[in-house]
A and B are shown apart, each in its own frame.
Chain A
């Protein structure tokens, strides 16, 4: 064991305690950042003793929900888990989670545990190098925060780089519906477990811009028998015959239920998933695929799905001033378009859009023009714009044909004042919100006693 590890862990623990003391939840990036500075190999040193090995979940959208669903399944199966559930998905966040689960010398508190790590798309090669995972899930690849990533193709290149670093017997859990994910199999000789929404009905309305258009094997344009969202669907290439792979795990049917989705998953039967939106059916399938790769029994998989709760800002609801706020995190066109589709299905009447442009949101707000706000034009009776870029958000809503915003407010406090000024009988407010705007809103709600303080995290 590296002699620097105890020192690194001491620093991490002190930083975590400081983060809790500061009152915004357990700090989840700073501990790992410090530990990595002191012991650059901290991630691999802390992960190596875990007998359960490591599993990574990456992709543009759905990483958090997929990883949480799998964590629930593992727990239901009685398997201990070390999971970066509360925070940062860069290697520093992975180190924070591993550090919190180790004793002062760096030995795991439970050596049987499995490391389950949600991993940032661009951080994947570093995470693979450090953790040598036995399985990795790729949910989807969409345009996202291009001011930081550069181009969509840059992320795809990172993923191919990560594949070359994976142990050859690792299993990939791949989304067969996404040709940009499916093409990873062209570079992979090891086992693949495919999952697909095969039985779902195609999406209605504008699917939004596609980010995968041409076959990487032959260059011909993909054709679709059904398109769920963006470039996801039942695709095929007429040039070389490549097509959506036959899934190992498939949704035979996806139906809306009062409290979520009714899923009929191949080999699992009908299950109620207490989450809304077709995209969550996709997340559930990715989690089921990984669970099967890990050999979990069907009962534990079903229990994990049934116990699902919305993750931070992923459709969670908060009672405030007699009104219910539903928080829907969105930060890229694909995610926002899916959230808007959900709101259209639910008949949302009052909708707010809180837009920030800080580093973690992406400095470029052009993406809002790629999201299909137009589809809610007929539904929305009242709207609000907020965040550091409140005026840009207001302009987008206006150009989408929504009514003139009832409030345009930069600070979360002013936004909540405006919401509270309307009578409770006006019903729920659906809040589309970018990442740092969500952090700020949660902090303000907490200050006003609307949220348990400890729940605030990233």
Chain B
């Protein structure tokens, strides 16, 4: 069996380890004898979402989002139609924001989104605190563990399902307890980088949907030994639950021992 993955703008929308998601999808395909062909359509490249089985887009800073937004707007209607017809997709962080209706950046500039998710993201301005830290989200796939780092606040329209409910962290806006968005077989989320390696149930939801869409309802995923993934989930979950503080004692000891350096 063979699946075709489109990784949109891989050279541009990749700021927080986003390729970890593609590495995880490839790993979980290869472990089952499924070949995964990865294509990376860039700005200005022709792209027909009907010719892929799975779509992934990662995050970028404001300058990257400004770059891809016009191109994504052009590709948008086809992407939206394909996803509404069942194409599984994962949109992370900046990509998630652009899968909504619009993104208002830190300078007040408005970037149009593709409108798949009925939601709007507003950046509260350059001086506002970013939502940064470990996150736990209760989802239909179980608890998702991850890390968020975003300036924009996302507000879902009434009726738009979230990816899940925040247990630890800020989520979409730090106020309503929602995280991400869910439509058809698409997931949008702020949990970046290593979302899929540490959340194999989410990866398998995307792969399973892709497989059934391509090879029929009888196509299923063989189970894998996920002991390593479970260990990483447990470790990350424990750290997230403990909170983001290191404790005053450790900080003082760090200072006495040589202090924190931030760079090299």
**8 Å CB contacts to A: which residues of B177-208?**
192-194, 197-198
Do residues A24 and B256 form an inter-chain contact, with CB atoms below 8 A? yes
Chain A: number of interface residues, binned into ranges: 35 or more
Query: 1/0 per residue A356-398: CB within 8 Å of B?
Result: 0111100111111110000000000000000011111011101
Do residues B239 and A60 form an inter-chain contact, with CB atoms below 8 A? no
CB of A77 closer than 8 Å to a CB of B = no
Q: Please, which residue of chain B has its CB at the minimum distance from the CB of A457?
A: B258
Do residues A92 and B259 form an inter-chain contact, with CB atoms below 8 A? yes
Query: 1/0 per residue B131-151: CB within 8 Å of A?
Result: 011100000000000010101
Interface 9-residue window, one of A99-107, A139-147, A343-351? A139-147
Do residues B260 and A398 form an inter-chain contact, with CB atoms below 8 A? no
Do residues B262 and A363 form an inter-chain contact, with CB atoms below 8 A? no
Shortest CB distance A24–B (Å): 4
Q: Which residues of A contact B75 (CB under 8 A)?
A: none
Considering residues B16, B193, B236, B257, which has the most beta carbons from chain A within 10 angstroms of its beta carbon?
B257
Q: Please, which residue of chain A has its CB at the minimum distance from the CB of B193?
A: A366
Do residues A458 and B258 form an inter-chain contact, with CB atoms below 8 A? yes
Q: Which residues of A contact B239 (CB under 8 A)?
A: 357, 388-389
**8 Å CB contacts to B: which residues of A86-132?**
86-90, 92-93, 120-123
Do residues B228 and A391 form an inter-chain contact, with CB atoms below 8 A? yes
Do residues B194 and A366 form an inter-chain contact, with CB atoms below 8 A? yes
In the bound complex, how far is the Cα of B166 from the Cα of A35, in angstroms?
43
Interface 9-residue window, one of A208-216, A239-247, A285-293, A318-326? A208-216
**8 Å CB contacts to B: which residues of A134-182?**
143-153
Do residues A86 and B231 form an inter-chain contact, with CB atoms below 8 A? no
Q: Which residues of A contact B264 (CB under 8 A)?
A: 59-64, 329, 331, 335
CB of A54 closer than 8 Å to a CB of B = no
Do residues A210 and B11 form an inter-chain contact, with CB atoms below 8 A? yes
Q: Which residues of A contact B62 (CB under 8 A)?
A: 151, 153
Do residues B263 and A394 form an inter-chain contact, with CB atoms below 8 A? no
Q: Which residues of B contact A33 (CB under 8 A)?
A: 255, 259
In the bound complex, how far is the Cα of B12 from the Cα of A289, in angstroms?
32
Do residues A360 and B254 form an inter-chain contact, with CB atoms below 8 A? yes
Q: Which of B16, B19, B255, B261 contacts A364 (CB 8 A)?
A: B16
**8 Å CB contacts to B: which residues of A23-42?**
24-25, 27-30, 33
Count contacts on B: residues with CB < 8 A to the other chain.
51
Do residues A359 and B251 form an inter-chain contact, with CB atoms below 8 A? yes
Shortest CB distance B15–A (Å): 7
CB of A409 closer than 8 Å to a CB of B = no
Q: Please, which residue of chain B has its CB at the minimum distance from the CB of A360?
A: B260
CB of B23 closer than 8 Å to a CB of A = yes
**8 Å CB contacts to B: which residues of A206-246?**
209-210, 213-214
Q: Please, which residue of chain A has its CB at the minimum distance from the CB of B254?
A: A360
Query: 1/0 per residue B240-264: CB within 8 Å of A?
Result: 0000101000110011111111111
Q: Which residues of B contact A333 (CB under 8 A)?
A: 17
Q: Which of A60, A152, A395 contacts B229 (CB 8 A)?
A: A395
**8 Å CB contacts to A: which residues of B10-42?**
11-12, 14-20, 23-24, 27
Closest 4 pairs between A and B when the two form their complex, measured CB to CB: A29-B259, A366-B193, A458-B258, A369-B20
